[in-house]
Amino acid sequence: MSLTLGTGPLARPSAGRLNADLWSVAPAHALFLHPLEERIRGVIGGQTVADTTGAVMLHETGLMPRWYLPEADLAPGLLRPSDTRTTCPFKGEARYWHLEADGRRVEDAAWSYPDPVDGCPPLAGLVSFYFEKLDTWLVEDDEQIGHPRDPFHRVDARRSSRQVTIRIDGQVVAETRAPVAVVETGMPVR
């Protein structure tokens, strides 16, 4: 389950029940910001653009979660102001940034909310990048493929030494002491 998509609690699910009516007091569009404990690095070409242990993740109703990185943890002098501005009724006016690194310019690669609207989590001093505009993202020393992962919805493949036996109609069709267990939030181990 993701917090903000599908049937997640911040997606305003059409099914399921809680023991309280959150939606009578919660806004129609929820924002949830929390710190991450991992080291996150962004690289373009061979140049590290961001290197932080101070990232936060923003969950927003109907959207994939996003990393926001402290401006202080970005390589100095690589972001150039863009003329692009957008307005979000829940966060305020976004200011966009071009990225100049490794001899190339990436237009509108990142954005920030220097003056978030009242009620918005504290986004001032943070920058978010379009994930695909950098060549590589690392979480600790592992390359992050795809988009930032929702830490509240995990899918992990784990090597195991458990005995696993698969039977069809009572007949053994596979047996191993070296399975790979798929562990997914809200699902039985497979």
Asked if 101 and 90 sit in the same domain, the reply is yes
* Six token digits for residue 40: 């996150």
Average pLDDT, the chain: 87
What number of other Cβ atoms are within 10 A of residue 142's Cβ? 9
Asked if 113 and 68 sit in the same domain, the reply is yes
* Six token digits for residue 160: 């195991």
Asked if 68 and 119 sit in the same domain, the reply is yes
Domain count of the chain? 2
Asked if 144 and 161 sit in the same domain, the reply is no
The pLDDT value recorded for residue 56 is 96
Asked if 52 and 80 sit in the same domain, the reply is yes
**Residue 1 pLDDT more than 60?**
no
Q: Is residue 136 helix, strand or coil?
A: strand
Asked if 104 and 138 sit in the same domain, the reply is yes
Residues 172, 74 contacting (CB under 8 angstroms): no
> Which domain, by its residues, includes 171?
154-190
Predicted confidence (pLDDT) per residue in 124-158, tens digit: 999 999 999 999 999 999 889 888 887 777 787 88
Do β-strands 155-159 and 180-184 pair in parallel, antiparallel, or remain unpaired? Answer: antiparallel
The proportion of the chain whose per-residue pLDDT surpasses 90, expressed as a percent, equals 57
Residue 190 lies in a domain: yes
What CA–CA distance (Å, rounded) separates 174 from 164? 8
**Residue 98 pLDDT more than 80?**
yes
- Rounded CA Rg of the chain: 21
What CA–CA distance (Å, rounded) separates 35 from 105? 30
CATH of the domain at 13: 2.170.150.40
Asked if 94 and 188 sit in the same domain, the reply is no
**Residue 26 pLDDT more than 50?**
yes
Predicted confidence (pLDDT) per residue in 74-97, tens digit: 999 999 999 999 999 999 999 999
What CA–CA distance (Å, rounded) separates 116 from 34? 16
Residue 4 lies in a domain: no
Residue 76 lies in a domain: yes
Asked if 149 and 172 sit in the same domain, the reply is no
Residue 86 lies in a domain: yes
Asked if 76 and 113 sit in the same domain, the reply is yes
What's the mean pLDDT in 168-173? 95
Residue 115 lies in a domain: yes
